[in-house]
Amino acid sequence: MIEVINVSKTYGETAAVQGVTFSAPSGVVTGFLGPNGAGKTTTLRILLGLARPDAGTALIDGRSYAELPAPRRVVGAVIDSMGFDPGRTGRNHLRVVARAAGIARSRVDEVLDFVDLAGAADRAAGGYSQGMRQRLSLASALLGDPQVLLLDEPANGLDPAGMAWLRRLLTDWAAQGRTVLFSSHVLTEVEFVADRIVIIDRGRVVREGSARDLYGSDRAVVVRSDDCDRLERLARAEGWTVRRDGADRFVIRGTTSAAVGLAVADAGIALTELSSEISTRSLEDLFLDLTTAEAHA
C-alpha cells in the first residue's frame, strides 16, 4: 500500500508537485499517468526518499522509505536516475546490490533468469542495449522479492516482446496481493495493464480512480432524428451533454435511453433510431480533456 499525502516540492521557481495526494492499494496495478514534466518522477523520488518534499508525507506500508528496516526487501524500484558502471558485468552489478542489502547471492541467478538476461550477465553493462539495461534495472528491483514495485517509465526501451513480458509481470505481481505503481506517459501501456489510474498534470493530481470508473463504463445514448433543432433544444433543456455526430446522429451523455425515449415522446419529436453505446470514451479522450497535453495530429 502506497499513500502520498499532500506532497509539495519546488525546484527553484518551479513547483514540481503541489499538494499531490493519492494511494496505490495492494493487489492492483496502479498506473501513474501524466504528460512529460507533470511531476511523476518527482513524486516517485519523494516516495523513495531520494528527494525531500517541502511539505506532505509519502508512505509505503505506513512508513517513510527511510524508516523501512530492510528497504530492498520491501520496495523494488526502477527509476530514471539509476545507472551502471560500464566496466562492471550485469551479474556483478546485481551481486553488489545483493551484498549491500544482505540478500542471498543465489537470488542474483534467479532474477537474471527471470528477466531473461542470464546469457548476457557476464558481459560488461557498458555494451548493453537500452532494453537490456531496462531488464537489468528490473532485475535489481526484483532482487529482494519486494512487496511493492515502484517503476518509473518501466517500458522505456523494451521491444514488443519485452512489453508483453512486463505487462504479465505487473499483473502477476498484483495478483499475488502485492502493490504495483508504475508511471508512464504512454496511454496504451496504462490502458492495457492498470486496474487503477492516477492522472497528474502540472504537478497536481487531476483524477484518480479505477479504470472502469474513469472511462470504461461510460454509457452514451445514440439517437437519430430529422428534427435536429428541436432535439438539440430539448437536450439543453433536460441538461444532457449532447454531441452531434454526423447529419442526423446525436451522442447523448448523462442520461439513459429510457429517459431519452420518454422525453422525446413527450416533446413529440420523431426518432429514426434510439440505442445505447458502451465505452465510447477512451482513456485518450479523458487524458486529453484533463491534461494540458496536446493531441498531435
Residue 213 Cβ, how far from other proteins at the closest point, in Å? 33
The only residue of 49, 56, 157, 261 in contact with other proteins, by rule CB under 8 A: 49
141 vs 235 by CB, closer to other proteins: 141
Residues in the chain: 297
The only residue of 28, 40, 58, 65 in contact with other proteins, by rule CB under 8 A: 65
The only residue of 100, 104, 247, 295 in contact with other proteins, by rule CB under 8 A: 100
99 vs 168 by CB, closer to other proteins: 99
80: three-class secondary structure by DSSP: coil
Strands 204-210 and 249-253 come out as unpaired
The reply to whether 77 sits near other proteins by the rule CB under 8 A is yes
Residues 119-158 that bind other proteins (CB under 8 A): 140
CA dihedral 284, 287, 292, 297 (to 10 degrees): 0
Give 77's strand partners: 150
67 vs 213 by CB, closer to other proteins: 67
The only residue of 36, 52, 106, 176 in contact with other proteins, by rule CB under 8 A: 52
CA distances (Å), 290 to each of 19, 61, 161, 216, 282, in order? 17, 30, 31, 16, 13
CA distances (Å), 178 to each of 26, 98, 146, in order? 5, 21, 8
Q: How far is CA 74 from the centre of its chain?
A: 21
The only residue of 22, 32, 84, 128 in contact with other proteins, by rule CB under 8 A: 84
The reply to whether 79 sits near other proteins by the rule CB under 8 A is yes
The reply to whether 62 sits near other proteins by the rule CB under 8 A is no
Residue range at the interface with other proteins (CB under 8 A); choices 19-27, 87-95, 219-227, 286-294 = 87-95
Task: Say how far apart CA 150 and CA 207 lie, in whole Å.
Answer: 20
Strands of the 219-224 sheet, one edge to the other: 241-244, 249-253, 219-224, 273-278
96 vs 269 by CB, closer to other proteins: 96
The only residue of 40, 72, 107, 133 in contact with other proteins, by rule CB under 8 A: 72
The only residue of 85, 113, 172, 277 in contact with other proteins, by rule CB under 8 A: 85
Strands 75-78 and 55-60 come out as unpaired
138 vs 260 by CB, closer to other proteins: 138
36: three-class secondary structure by DSSP: coil
CA distances (Å), 1 to each of 39, 94, 174, 215, in order? 20, 26, 11, 24
The reply to whether 107 sits near other proteins by the rule CB under 8 A is no
Residues 8-47 that bind other proteins (CB under 8 A): 45
Contacts of 161 (CB under 8 A, 6+ apart): none
54: three-class secondary structure by DSSP: coil
Q: Which residue has the cell 558502471?
A: 85
The reply to whether 95 sits near other proteins by the rule CB under 8 A is yes
Residue range at the interface with other proteins (CB under 8 A); choices 27-35, 61-69, 217-225, 238-246 = 61-69
11 vs 245 by CB, closer to other proteins: 11
User: Which residues would be at the binding site for other proteins (CB under 8 A)?
Assistant: 45, 48-52, 65-66, 68, 71-72, 75, 77, 79, 81-89, 92, 95-97, 99-102, 140
